[in-house]
A and B are shown apart, each in its own frame.
Chain A
């Protein structure tokens, strides 16, 4: 496990969009799907997101996202219509109302909302490097301490993961040919050892931070920078304009 992110290396359209603009787009998309708009509005957004996904991260990644959420969407489509009993009947079985038109639309709306949120989130993390995402958070006034903690987490995950695998391998060498049930029980000593190894890294990490001047009140400088504000502002205006057009076209109010 060399990298602890889902970032997919590519050159598509979304890779050229500023990380800050993508974060804003994600937030607007999540709010947009809950606004009082017609079903066609959410459908349009979903089609837009899938097209963006095809163009930016390719067919394989798009189908991977789809595969991950398909069972949940099927569950929503199966169960939700039964909770919307009023409206134009579509399916009646032995005098019992099974499905109404409103129920069907309600169920499809719920599914597409989930679909849109999932695609928007996945596209952000597939096309944005973690350091760019953290710099974007910093530019939105998320405290430096929080951003540093997130960076340290991503740096520490592979180390702990490797330590766990090494401990697990050495434990399993001492007890080969064991039943699966017993192997699960033996997970406990492995977890204990992995935790002890992880906790032992804390003092040296703290010393490393202090030697880099962490905790001083002077203003910190950054090694990496995001692109200039010019692109960010232009792209953000374009994103807001796009969502305004969608809202005015499909609004219910």
Chain B
């Protein structure tokens, strides 16, 4: 029998399902903003993934999920920016809260300092990233791009706290997820 790359199918399935989760969370709850954009639960989903799985999974699922959600929702022009900003958000938050192999017995808890650090990093990346990239690459100019900052700060800040709470709840409710934590 020919050799297969170990757990390649499981990793691909995990990334695909988590990306779909990000898409569903993004398009499910929409709170309209004055600029005809919308606030959503994407940061919650991305932070849940970052708190629960590996940085690489958070990077791919966060970036790809929000980009696909933009395409489906009829805002395809934002997809490349969302891919970069939310991918980076997932990666950085996951790297900050990453548990060492010794901590694996205590999977549910993450120290308060790490959560606060993750929240600050998340807010800076999302609000700053959208501000700079939309001003430059979407050609909105810095004045118009600044209109999105307050909404992004609120959405990403709440997303980290709620994502952490959701991660704890899911690990408690479905213990077999621990077998996927290193993916």
Residues of A that sit less than 8 Å from B by CB? 4-6, 33-34, 64-65, 68-72, 75-76, 78-80, 82-83, 107, 109-110, 113-114, 117-118, 121-122, 124-125, 145, 148-150, 152-154, 156-157, 159-161, 164, 187-188, 191-196, 198-203, 205-207, 209-210, 214-218
Contacts and interface: CB of A to CB of B under 8 A. Distances in A.
Contacts of B16: 149, 152-153, 156, 205
Q: Give the most central of B28, B60, B72, B74: most A CB within 10 Å.
A: B74
A191 B144 contact: no
A215 B15 CA distance: 15
A188 B5 contact: no
9 contacts: A6-B76, A65-B74, A75-B35, A83-B143, A109-B139, A153-B65, A157-B20, A188-B162, A218-B2
Interface residues of B, number: 57
A8 B10 CA distance: 34
A71 B36 contact: yes
A72 B14 CA distance: 36
B144 A72 contact: yes
Contacts of B60: 149
A79 B16 CA distance: 41
Interface in B4-46: 4-5, 8-10, 12-21, 23-25, 28-29, 34-37, 41, 44
Contact of B28 (A65, A164, A198): A164
Interface of B: 2-5, 8-10, 12-21, 23-25, 28-29, 34-37, 41, 44, 48, 60, 64-65, 68, 71-72, 74-77, 79, 138-144, 147, 162, 165-166, 169-170, 173-174, 177, 180
A196 B170 contact: yes
Contacts of A187: 29
B132 to A, nearest CB: 15
Contact of B17 (A79, A205, A218): A205
B74 A64 contact: yes
